[in-house]
Amino acid sequence: HKSENYWNAYKTSRNRVTDPLRETKAAYYKGVFKKVKHDPKQAWKTVNKILNRKQESREINCLETQRGQISHPTELAECFNNYFTNIGPDIAKNIDNGDRNFKDYITTTTSSFNFQTVSESNVYRLLLSLNPRKSNGIDKIPAKIIRIAAPVITNSLTKIFNMAIISATVPFEWKIARVTPIFKNGARNLLNNYRPISILPVVNSANEWFINMDRGLFNIAVFLDLQKAFDTINHDILLTKLDLYGLQKPSLNLLGSYLTNRTQMCSVNGALSGTKLVTCGIPQGSILGPLLFLIYINDLPNSLEYSSTRMFADDTTLTVSGKSIQDVVVAINQDLTNVKQWLSANRLSLNLVKTEYLLIGSRYNINNLLAAPNVFVGDTPIKKVKETKALGVHIDEFL
């Protein structure tokens, strides 16, 4: 009986210490995450620190190539640079020409747009807003130094920026990317298990499906995986689209200069490769890159007859709903044929291994189906899954 009293007294004393400690720790991390909410890199560092995760070594020891095994840092850098610069062109040359032209899908506009010169005050504000922790580009000038030097260099940079706009020419040095291979998964000695991280110089769907389920409808959602989409964007097609969307000639020439004659170097274990020309694709790691990609795929919905689309960067989902599973299957297969034609016309392709579909409906409707619907892209069947992850959200066939 006495020992029970001691135990209760211990728990009371312990809680007097642990409760404030827990609250203080929670308040501390809440403040930390508030500071880094706009900096994903620092946010993940904080998460890993809390979970006591050890950072994996990024050193690459060796690679298996057609010439055998290589391990010297410079050879590794050259090998990666050659591989990364050829991904886009290799995919593009294997895409069928198709029967349609990319212009068939574009709705022209009478509006026009032109880049305007910038003021010193805007450039100064831009320099002060640079993230001081941003990685250095090939010029090795830290963002922190640029911020400190802003009062001195603003005038000169403003002149350079405006000269680039007026002459429609982007300085060559600003078009050199430093690429670092980052391991994804699988064997560490295989090239295709790495993805490039490019560093340039510093300078509502679920709700709709719920509604359709309540109405007793079948829904088929196809999650398209565009194969290396950012790497295979055709520069001529992109510039033509910008022209049709009303971008005026001087601005069009400036973007043409921005996109063409770009080069990259690859950094492996501290060694830098030579430069290689990048002949297609959107400059990754740039502010303009995502916007240009969205402009490129903006007309994809114009190719569809039955489906609704949800597009976020290179994640694209087609959805068809209907009372009859047969009608839904016919509709989605027709639109997948339409998408295939659009992709061919725009020199893009699907990764059919990663493209999948989800049949969404009530348990009664789905459990009473005799067989899974046959969904195809061309002659290739699309894999049916019972659950998938879309933009970080897990979705299953019953929601």
Do both 177 and 272 map to the same domain? Answer: yes
Do both 154 and 225 map to the same domain? Answer: no
Do both 310 and 254 map to the same domain? Answer: no
- Dist. CA 59–CA 138, nearest whole Å: 19
- Beta pairing class for 218-225 and 356-360: antiparallel
CA 240 to chain centre: 23
Do both 227 and 346 map to the same domain? Answer: yes
Do both 118 and 176 map to the same domain? Answer: yes
How does DSSP classify residue 135?
P
- 226: domain CATH number is 3.30.70
- Dist. CA 201–CA 308, nearest whole Å: 39
Torsion angles phi and psi, residue 385, rounded to 5:
-120, 155
C-alpha torsion sign, points 134, 135, 137, 142 = positive
**How open is the CA angle 382-388-393, to the nearest 5 degrees?**
145
Do both 100 and 170 map to the same domain? Answer: yes
For the entire predicted model, the pTM comes to 0.71
* pLDDT tens, per residue, the chain with 399 residues: 567 787 888 888 888 888 888 888 888 888 887 887 777 777 777 777 777 766 666 688 888 888 888 889 899 999 999 988 988 888 888 888 778 888 888 887 777 878 888 888 988 888 888 877 777 777 788 888 888 888 998 899 889 888 888 888 888 888 888 888 988 888 888 888 888 888 776 664 444 454 455 556 788 889 998 888 888 899 999 999 999 988 889 889 989 998 989 999 999 988 989 999 988 888 877 778 888 898 999 899 999 999 888 887 777 889 888 888 888 889 999 999 999 999 999 999 888 888 998 888 777 777 777 678 888 898 899 888 887 776 566 676 655
What residue numbers bound the domain in which 257 lies? 63-197+233-294
Do both 262 and 251 map to the same domain? Answer: yes
Do both 152 and 33 map to the same domain? Answer: no
| Residue at 242 is within a domain | yes
Give the list of residues 6+ apart from residue 76 with CB closer than 8 angstroms, or none. Answer: 60, 62, 63, 70, 268, 269, 271
Count of domains forming the chain? 3
Q: What is the residue whose two structure tokens read 């998408």?
A: 339
| Residue at 303 is within a domain | yes
Q: Name residue 135's amino acid.
A: S
End of a domain among 271, 294, 317? 294
Do both 68 and 81 map to the same domain? Answer: yes
Do both 256 and 341 map to the same domain? Answer: no
Do both 90 and 118 map to the same domain? Answer: yes
| Residue at 11 is within a domain | no
The DSSP bridge partners found for residue 60 are none
Do both 151 and 184 map to the same domain? Answer: yes
